[in-house]
Amino acid sequence: MISKPKFKICRRLGPGVYDKCQTSKFASSATKTLPGGKRPKAPTEYGTQLIEKQKIRFSYGISERQLSNYVKKVSHIKGAGTALKLFENLESRLDNVIYRMGLGASRRATRQMVSHGHFIVNNHRITVPSYEVKIGDIIKIREGSKNKKIFQSLADRLKDYNSPPWVVFDLSSMEGGILAKPKNAETFLDLNAVLEFYSR
């Protein structure tokens, strides 16, 4: 699990990395120049690719080795489909799917929820955040976890939440599902730059 000062990371990588950095307060502080009124130098091509790689790592809360393995997994695919498949694999992590359903305030929170065994996938209790969820899989909140404090305000949290069209969660039955493959709506992530970084 990656745990570092979030505002410092956001200033270096951009506001899209963490939800708490997507505020007007952060935006105003992020526009400040370097000491002496100097503007930061434009990064090199390698530097740009490195930044994009770090964006993905911190956004999804995964290690260098995990991201490298995700890239290797799609390396046999040629053309534009490589970046799309990489995105699908990252989004199909159980901790991310639960985050997309709106059941946790952040990916870090849902990762912890999965590790503590609060969810069942297709009648099996899963405690591995990186577990790959597929179309048609049914995700349920474990019966013994429904009355836990983390789920008590779930109705209020989901009232104004709009989940991506590829996932669904039914509050009455406390279960959700995967309807389709994830679609890349994260415009701040440059997956092709990440693929180029690992192809060096």
Residue 29 has pLDDT above 60, yes or no: no
| Predicted pLDDT at 36 | 56
For domain 93-178, the CATH architecture is: Roll (3.10)
CB 77 within 8 Å of CB 191 = no
Where does the pLDDT of residue 26 fall: very low under 50, low under 70, confident under 90, or very high at 90 and above?
Answer: very low
What's the CA gap between 115 and 128, in Å, rounded? Answer: 6
For residue range 80-97, list pLDDT tens digits in order. 789 999 999 999 999 999
Residue 132, SS3 per DSSP: strand
Residue with tokens 């849902």: 110
Percent of the chain with pLDDT over 90: 61
Quick one: average pLDDT of 20-49? 61
- At a CB cut-off of 8 Å and minimum separation 6, what does 122 contact? 137, 138
| CA-to-CA separations, 15 to 27, 35, 90, 163, in angstroms, rounded | 8, 21, 19, 20
**Token duo for residue 134:** 């597929």
* pTM for the structure as a whole: 0.79
What's the CA gap between 101 and 13, in Å, rounded? Answer: 25
CB 121 within 8 Å of CB 139 = yes
CATH number of 6-31+43-90+187-198: 1.10.1050.10
> Where in the chain do CATH 1.10.1050.10 domains reside?
6-31+43-90+187-198
| Predicted pLDDT at 141 | 96
Q: By mean pLDDT, which of 2-16, 19-33, 41-55, 163-177 is the weakest? A: 19-33
What's the CA gap between 12 and 24, in Å, rounded? Answer: 17
Look at the alpha carbons of 75, 76, 81, 85 in this order and tell me if their dihedral is positive or negative. Answer: negative
Residue 145 has pLDDT above 90, yes or no: yes
